[in-house]
Amino acid sequence: MSATLTNTGRVLLGMIAEGHATGYAIKAAIDRSTRLYWGASIGGIYPELRRLEQAELVSSRDDFRGGTRRHAYSLTSAGRAALHGWLADPSEPVLEMRHEGLLRLRFAGVLPIEEQVEVVRRMRTVHERRLSELESRLTTEEFDDPLHRLTFEFSVGWNAWARDWCLSAERSLTRRGPRAAKR
């Protein structure tokens, strides 16, 4: 039974397809790329790899590096099929966001207007920090895969857009003026 492939499992399949063979290497690859829009933490990766192996979507061979035993995973044909099936799946993909900065702004009405602007400013710095980190990586890192680069650029663009939105929100809040307090 192909049964239930978890979302973390799908990332693993994709990463293994790209040639990242060990749990450790996969984790590093996730941190370099999908973490921005789909995270996975090390504590969940190893058990999930074993589950995938049990489901026969991946196979592993022991690969000794000196005395260190590591598991080198590769896709089975069922795994390749599962990956393709997921990519071509016409069902609505998950899209959700947890944006505490926006959430704070949503409730900032209880604060005086100057502090409301501060809330947006702090929201902006989050996006700016992300943006400058990503932009510097864009120049220093190599992007082997064109789709890795493309999705990376999505993150750059979205953070830039959000920063600009914050700037314009700050202006519109300030324009309302420090004395035009919300009731």
* Site residues, DNA (CB under 7 A): 4, 6-8, 22-25, 28, 39-44, 46-50, 65-71
Should residue 110 be labelled a site residue for a second copy when binding is judged by CB under 8 A?
yes
Take residue 172 and report the two structure tokens written for it: 């519109």
The residue (of 27 and 130) whose beta carbon lies closer to a second copy is 130
What minimum distance in Å lies between the beta carbon of 10 and DNA? 9
| Contacted entry of DNA, a second copy, none for residue 34, CB cut-off 5 to 8 Å set by kind | a second copy
Should residue 116 be labelled a site residue for a second copy when binding is judged by CB under 8 A?
yes
Take residue 134 and report the two structure tokens written for it: 């990503």
**Residue 26 C-alpha from the chain's centroid:** 14
Nearest to 152 by CA among 129, 128, 135, 132: 135
Take residue 7 and report the two structure tokens written for it: 């979302």
How far apart CA 145 and CA 88 sit, in angstroms, is 20
Nearest to 22 by CA among 70, 55, 61, 58: 70
Question: Where on the chain is the footprint of a second copy (CB under 8 A)?
Answer: 7, 10-11, 14, 17-18, 33-34, 36-39, 80, 83-84, 86-88, 90, 92-111, 115-116, 118-119, 122-123, 126-127, 130, 145-148, 150-151, 154, 157-158, 161-162, 165, 169, 172, 182
